[in-house]
Amino acid sequence: MTEKFTFPGDFLWGTASAAHQVEGGNVNSDAWLLEHVAGSPYVEPAGDACDHYHRYPQDIALIAALGFNCYRFSIEWARIEPEEGEFSRAALEHYRRMLAACHDNGLTPIVTYHHFTSPRWFAAKGGWEVLENADYFVRYCERATAHLGDLIGAACTLNEPNVGLLIQQMGYMQPDSVLANAPYRAAAAKAAGSAMFSAFPQCLQAPARDTLLKAHPLAVAAIKAGRGSFPVGLTLALSDHQAVDGGEATRDRMRQAIDDVFLDVTGQDDFVGVQTYTRTRFGAQGILPPEPGVELTQMGYEFWPEALEATMRYTASYSGKPVLVTENGIGTEDDTQRIAYIARALQGVRRCLQDGIHVRGYCYWSIFDNFEWTMGYRPKFGLIAVDRETQKRTLKPSAAWLGAIARANALESVS
């Protein structure tokens, strides 16, 4: 039986992006350097990306025209503070214009202060692996807020500070002991003219975790003390951790180490940003491979749209905070599969709301097919395709489909 479910009146409907993945020409960032060294973990460089740095006026108008009421994007530290202590008024003004464009188009801007990339000088000082370096991030947050705060609708400090731990546990990234001697680290340090070079998320996770845990609450305090008044939170990479055949203890241990430690520093936050793509199953011995018979996405993840509901419920009950879905999506060439994925994920959002969980909004990752980090441009997460030669944007059916749901602020509920 189907009936109509209406979302709360202030529900945020949006899509998400991140500076390095869409702007293009982010040459002063640590990622850009790492993309170009011998033995780089990146299959290709970001290059011009989607040239969103120049095309944001049309892009933002397009997002609004589709029916969304918010846009999550990140401001780029490497542009705002190109050298240590040297802040670029021009770069800050660029982001002011982006924020103003959101408002002009009726979109609430959700700003991420740090979405993986940092300035080269920060990486050359050991980046997140050095505890004292948290202070550089906090100072940047202060300066950015002083310039932009009156136009910000909501803010995320760090994007997925736990993602390195998660992908390391899943076997997608080497353990710290191996990473420490990765030839590209030495090559990057040499290129940066430094004794060390550490770029997130390919950094040593144990020391980076401590710096990130220190930085987040300090950044929240700095942002809240600054210009403007808007909700502030942390986003986390949250996989639906499932226990199978006696895997409960392993699952709980992993959840504690990857998720709970970060949720434990959200005390002053206004929401937790939930970013979920799939599930992870744990047996008594550790992580299990994908279950035979379950479809895989381009990322090699299990197609498991209900993962979002599980992580929202876990996060809300563990933290006692409202949740905002800051990312949920699928890498696929098949847009019908994308629609099926989102449709099922949204039923989970609906069930959470019906159970009284405070969900502030849903942002699909991503607005464009963009630079999927080490995997380059192959995975297609976008609602909009981008021609890599001409930069021409082409709407996929999912863009109009999700935009219509956003505009209606309602969904047919399927039980």
Residue 249 Cβ, how far from ligand GCO at the closest point, in Å?
27
> What are residue 24's phi and psi, to 5 degrees?
90, 150
Cβ nearer to ligand GCO, comparing 239 with 250: 239
From candidates 160, 269, 309, 369, binder to ligand GCO by CB under 6 A: 160
Return contacts of 88-97, CB within 8 angstroms, 24+ apart: 89/147, 92/143, 92/144, 92/147, 92/148, 94/53, 95/144, 95/147, 95/148, 96/147, 96/148, 96/151, 97/56
Pairing of strands 240-243, 271-276: unpaired
Site string for ligand GCO, 191-230 (x = CB under 6 A): ----------------------------------------
Report how far residue 88's alpha carbon sits from residue 24's, in angstroms, rounded to the nearest whole number: 18
State which amino acid sits at residue 55.
R
Site string for ligand GCO, 120-159 (x = CB under 6 A): ---------------------------------------x
In angstroms, what CA-CA distances link 148 with 83, 92, 113, 226?
20, 7, 11, 10
Report how far residue 203's alpha carbon sits from residue 209's, in angstroms, rounded to the nearest whole number: 10
Query: What phi-psi label fits residue 39: left (phi over 0), alpha (psi between -120 and 50 degrees) or beta?
Result: left
Cβ nearer to ligand GCO, comparing 240 with 372: 372
Interaction between residue 163 and ligand GCO (CB under 6 A): yes
Cβ nearer to ligand GCO, comparing 244 with 287: 287
Interaction between residue 372 and ligand GCO (CB under 6 A): yes
Cβ nearer to ligand GCO, comparing 49 with 187: 49
The residue at minimum Cβ distance from ligand GCO is: 18
Residue 156 Cβ, how far from ligand GCO at the closest point, in Å?
10
Nearest partner of 222 among 162, 265, 268, judged by Cα: 268
Interaction between residue 324 and ligand GCO (CB under 6 A): no
Residue 20 Cβ, how far from ligand GCO at the closest point, in Å?
8
Residue 81 annotated in active site? no
**Per CB under 6 A, which of residues 270..299 are in contact with ligand GCO?**
275
Cβ nearer to ligand GCO, comparing 15 with 275: 275
Interaction between residue 302 and ligand GCO (CB under 6 A): no
Residue 43 Cβ, how far from ligand GCO at the closest point, in Å?
14
Interaction between residue 31 and ligand GCO (CB under 6 A): no
Cβ nearer to ligand GCO, comparing 239 with 266: 239
Kindly name the residue from 160, 302, 309, 372 that is annotated as catalytic: 160
Token pair 């996060």 in the structure block, residue:
315
Interaction between residue 111 and ligand GCO (CB under 6 A): no
Question: How many beta carbons lie within 10 A of that of residue 331, not counting itself?
Answer: 21
Query: What phi-psi label fits residue 259: left (phi over 0), alpha (psi between -120 and 50 degrees) or beta?
Result: alpha
To the nearest 5 percent, what fractions of the chain are helix, strand and coil? 45, 20, 35
Eight-state DSSP code of residue 323: E
Active site positions, annotated: 160
* Sites of contact with ligand GCO (CB under 6 A): 18, 21, 159-160, 163, 237, 275, 327, 365, 372, 381
